[in-house]
Chains A and B, each alone.
Chain A
């Protein structure tokens, strides 16, 4: 099954830019989706198809995907952005949906 690697943690000061990566073999050929999960809550979709934002998600959230790395970028980080973030793809070969291990974003 397809494997994606995320850094366990990322820290950023308020107002700065957070970058969360998701590495995978030729992940640039896949569509990557991102979820935000705050403690005790269900996940929320924040980016789909690499860079599209669902309605209600701030423009501060953006995504990109190329070659072996997909990236979630959060600009002008706020305290409320502190959460776990997961990347996810559909692996056509296995028909499996796959999540990365997750990254905890800490706002300093």
Chain B
């Protein structure tokens, strides 16, 4: 059974930084691309970033490029999202998901990031 568990969400100040993690189990982690999707309170889903199975290719939404960095450690079966220059509009639940064939088959339960002074 595929399991994805996010962590690292917290209350942070504008301009601050956070690192989100996503621990994976139940599948061959290095064979799958991975993605981050976020959802602001009461809003729809927004794709944030994606990374290939080997980590050599990364992709970012225009709204986060230059501030967010996606990475992975296949030896630890963990996906990361480093967020810097936090803004109020980054407040959201952040989900990690497997990314294969352009769709997201399996999702974690999400971790909440709140940006406020």
Residues of A within 8 A of B (CB): 1, 31, 33, 35, 37, 42-45, 48-49, 54, 84, 86, 88-90, 95-102
Whether the pair B105, A101 counts as a contact (CB closer than 8 A) is: no
A interface majority secondary structure: strand
Nearest chain B CB to A15 CB, angstrom units:
28
- Is B53 at the interface (CB under 8 A from chain A)? no
- List the A residue with the shortest CB-CB distance to B46: A99
Whether the pair B102, A89 counts as a contact (CB closer than 8 A) is: yes
Query: Count of B residues near A, CB < 8 Å?
Result: 22
- Interface membership of chain B positions 84-113, coded 1 if the CB is closer than 8 angstroms to chain A and 0 otherwise: 000000000001000101111111111000
Per CB-CB distance, the 8 closest pairs between chain A and chain B, nearest first, are A90-B102, A33-B103, A102-B44, A97-B47, A42-B107, A99-B45, A48-B103, A95-B59
- Interface membership of chain B positions 17-45, coded 1 if the CB is closer than 8 angstroms to chain A and 0 otherwise: 00000000000000000010100000011
CB neighbours of A44 from chain B (8 A): 107
CB neighbours of A45 from chain B (8 A): 103-106
CB neighbours of B110 from chain A (8 A): 42
- List the A residue with the shortest CB-CB distance to B44: A102
